[in-house]
């Protein structure tokens, strides 16, 4: 599957005579803006700490973008590799639980059988509050 898609992709890049529908690439230059990086960092709590990391991200996106070269008109998207599997239905009986002590051992702080968390989400510092670093 992968191999075939790859070959098709190459042909499209080289010749473009087969008429594959190629969706417009919004980031033509393949660069990711600083705003997008900041947004991603907030959403996923990932730290793109260096220019290298951002470059790697850009390459990963470019690599995945080659999928667009495949003509998928009229093809149903695959939702999951499990789509042909049967979804098992469990009977409505109580069979687990009652392990508060065990679970609470995982917590750094505990108050009377409650997990302790900081009060609400702690926002990441804004872009201009971070160290000066050019995201390109």
Residues engaged in binding other proteins (CB under 8 A): 39, 42-45, 79-100, 103-104, 106, 109, 111-121, 123
Give the bridge partners for 110, in sequence order. 115
Report the nearest approach of other proteins to the CB of residue 119 (Å): 5
Report the nearest approach of other proteins to the CB of residue 25 (Å): 21
Q: Which is nearer to other proteins, 15 or 97 (CB)?
A: 97
Report the nearest approach of other proteins to the CB of residue 3 (Å): 23
53 vs 61: CA distance, rounded Å: 12
Q: Which residue reads 């690599």 in tokens?
A: 63
Phi then psi for 111, rounded to 5 degrees? -130, 110
Q: Which is nearer to other proteins, 10 or 103 (CB)?
A: 103
Q: Which is nearer to other proteins, 24 or 111 (CB)?
A: 111
Side-chain-side CA neighbours of residue 96 (13 Å): 2
Alpha-carbon torsion (39, 42, 43, 45), positive or negative: positive
Report the nearest approach of other proteins to the CB of residue 18 (Å): 30
Q: Which residue reads 């409650």 in tokens?
A: 114
């Amino acid at each position: 599957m992968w191999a075939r898609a790859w070959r098709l992709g190459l042909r499209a890049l080289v010749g473009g005579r087969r008429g594959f529908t190629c969706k417009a690439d919004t980031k033509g230059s393949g660069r990711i803006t600083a705003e997008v990086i900041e947004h991603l960092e907030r959403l996923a709590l990932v730290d793109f700490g260096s220019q290298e990391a951002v470059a790697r991200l850009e390459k990963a996106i470019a690599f995945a973008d080659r999928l667009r070269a495949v003509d998928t008109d009229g093809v149903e998207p695959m939702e999951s590799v499990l789509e042909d599997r049967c979804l098992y239905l469990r009977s409505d009986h109580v069979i687990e639980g009652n392990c508060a002590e065990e679970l609470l051992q995982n917590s750094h702080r505990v108050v009377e059988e409650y997990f302790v968390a900081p009060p609400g989400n702690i926002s990441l510092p804004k872009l201009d509050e971070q160290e000066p670093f050019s995201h390109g």
